[in-house]
A and B are shown apart, each in its own frame.
Chain A
């Protein structure tokens, strides 16, 4: 049966058809829908893990016990799971284990533009890269075969344009291989030095075997056209090359990114007059070609930064293309903003008002850094707010708070809070508990007490967790009550020793969140002072020297009414 599937959904289908039984992941754009889709197959036990390291360990445990397993993550998630990856490369697997990692050239929803291909090379595990949904499905299934045949975890490298584009796939039935027996084998699975040392040569031999495979696998293919130009490409870059040239030039399409073939590339190079590697991000394939002694172009033509596109490829090769026309007016930017009624808005207004230095974290609330709130100083990585706060305080920083969301706190915030509790600093951490994982699209998490299937399960109680970390001062506030919130934040910042403030209010977009009727502007009373504009609410606008409320957006959260000194915002 043919179906139009999102790349992510096609990976999920591949996991299903390959007969995998366990999947554990943490959401992260652009990888989230893989696991969300796997959860729709009842045959597969699927869970949201608190973080990517846990997800990969769960997948590893499951494959060891004998069932094919899966974990998926965004590029930066692999940094978190890297500790697991580098050593399960040594232990190998029992049943197959596939890990999807989604890079984000262009940083549509990410904090950096790292190239995950180096992980495969560095951890010495195979990496496959599909170029459309059909290959997402096919490569995922094949990755399980590779994993079992070569006794290795297999990485599946995706990128935003592959994850989030739908294309046609052919569906097949699920074939669940019989479970493999778990056999105790400490020499293989207990990675202490005595046992790990003999495993390393096995890893090196395995990568040599895989190199043999890469020379004639179906994953890599030569599409010969005219021989003046030969292009090596993979993933999205391959699609752009084909878009520009069709079948005109010769193309070596690589589906296996690690290890890269040598003979195949050398042979292709001899058949063409000019050799060019077209790849997004770093010169990963190009460097390999140069190591083979080939004269090759790549990053001398294309940028290391950002995404490629058909026009960029056409331009660099001197091919004709339309550039489109621009209208002359300045088009005002439309940056993403906190939604109307967002439970983070009031809190960031307050933090801005008291001019606190805010050590931030990853989530919707990172938008607190944007105007007009301008109330975040720092944001690097998941959990970085908590330990960063402790360090900032220890480094002499004053008037500072850390802010972290509920899901991010469970992800990687807890170890930082253990540090604060254990080594005691005058740190004030604000946990923004909006009862969901907002940014990635409302996934459940350990603090919601509901699992990926919507069932009620164990709940990580945030207050208890903070107490267990050694924090004694814990206050719960409603971030929409501005005066109370400000008072508590000032008190806790002034208090010696560590403290946690839990700002608790569910995300306004959750189906269970009840909204109030939209507010109205009493034009008689509105003086046009623009106080209500300071919170950057998309529902409030300003026209003819008066505030105006967009009734389709306003959810009556009442944050603005607390700012209006003239009672002009009314129910």
Chain B
């Protein structure tokens, strides 16, 4: 079994930790060796956040290096561009089309680049873009963008719905479980 490399990126506060835990849980249920790396501390404060998920028969490095990611999952469009170099040749960018302006853009010191998904394709990447914010709001809260995106990511894994349900139950508080299950499905079927 080849080692699979997935990178999940977003903006601090978008719930990448929960997404990582969900992914880790699902991989465990499916019997993979896995390493899931998270980011804590200062970079979480609205900064760019990158997390790594690696799975296979035997996984060594806890991080995914440049040019190694089969899937780059981004909760925000600019972050997909920022971490694009992690993508392996022929890899897929699975991205939310939502744009969250970073402070330099807010302050008018920099511009948010345009037509990013076209640029990804021009560099040979496959692009799977969805409007996760709208889907999250449909599920009941804009805060479920992370789970919508994980639902989308699930299409790239041959896991049963039961696995994902169990993983969701393990990482999401019961109070929010139904909403998150809905968010997951909306992402998967979008």
Contacts and interface: CB of A to CB of B under 8 A. Distances in A.
B63 A310 contact: yes
Interface stretch (A55-63, A164-172, A398-406, A426-434): A164-172
Contact of A367 (B27, B45, B62, B110): B45
Given A168-B34, A327-B123, A332 B112 contact: yes
Contact of B107 (A33, A164, A533): A533
B68 interface: yes
Interface stretch (B81-89, B151-159, B172-180, B182-190): B81-89
Contacts of B39: 108, 164
Contacts of B88: 322, 324
Question: By CB atoms of chain B within 10 A, which of A132, A321, A541 has the most?
Answer: A541
Contacts of B109: 332
A401 to B, nearest CB: 23
Contact of A243 (B21, B40, B61, B87): B61
B24 to A, nearest CB: 5
A32 interface: yes
Contacts of A243: 60-61
A364 B42 CA distance: 7
Interface string B69-82: 00000000011011
Interface string A330-352: 11111111110000000000000
- How extensive is the interface on chain A, given as a class? 35 or more
Interface stretch (A1-9, A137-145, A266-274, A280-288): A1-9
Interface in A521-541: 530, 533, 536, 538, 540-541
| Interface SS, A side | loop
Contacts of A339: 13, 45-46
A232 to B, nearest CB: 16
Interface stretch (A234-242, A415-423, A512-520): A234-242
A139 to B, nearest CB: 17
A161 B61 CA distance: 9
Contacts of A372: 107
Given A324-B67, A325-B84, A331-B82, A240 B40 contact: no
| Interface SS, B side | mixed
Interface residues of B, number: 64
Contacts of A108: 39, 41-43
Contact of A240 (B21, B60, B108): B60
A343 to B, nearest CB: 14
Contacts of A80: none
A330 B24 contact: no
Given A108-B39, A166-B34, A331-B78, A311 B47 contact: no
A218 interface: no
B42 A4 contact: no
Nearest to A166: B36
A67 B106 CA distance: 55
Nearest to A335: B47
A84 interface: no
Contact of B103 (A30, A322, A334): A334
B142 interface: yes
A323 B38 CA distance: 22
B65 interface: yes
Given A161-B37, A164-B40, A322 B89 contact: yes
A330 B113 contact: yes
Which are the 5 A-B pairs with shortest beta-carbon distances?
A322-B67, A109-B41, A29-B41, A324-B67, A324-B85
Interface of B: 11-13, 20-21, 24-25, 27-28, 33-48, 52, 59-63, 65-68, 78-79, 81-82, 84-89, 101-113, 116, 119-120, 123-124, 142
23 contacts: A29-B41, A32-B40, A33-B40, A109-B40, A164-B40, A165-B63, A166-B38, A168-B28, A242-B61, A309-B63, A310-B68, A311-B67, A322-B68, A332-B102, A333-B102, A334-B79, A334-B103, A337-B46, A339-B13, A339-B46, A533-B108, A542-B108, A552-B142
Given A166-B37, A334-B48, 4 more contacts: A240-B60, A324-B86, A332-B78, A333-B102
Interface of A: 2-4, 6, 29-30, 32-33, 108-109, 132, 161-162, 164-168, 236, 239-240, 242-243, 309-311, 321-339, 364, 367, 371-372, 439-441, 530, 533, 536, 538, 540-542, 552
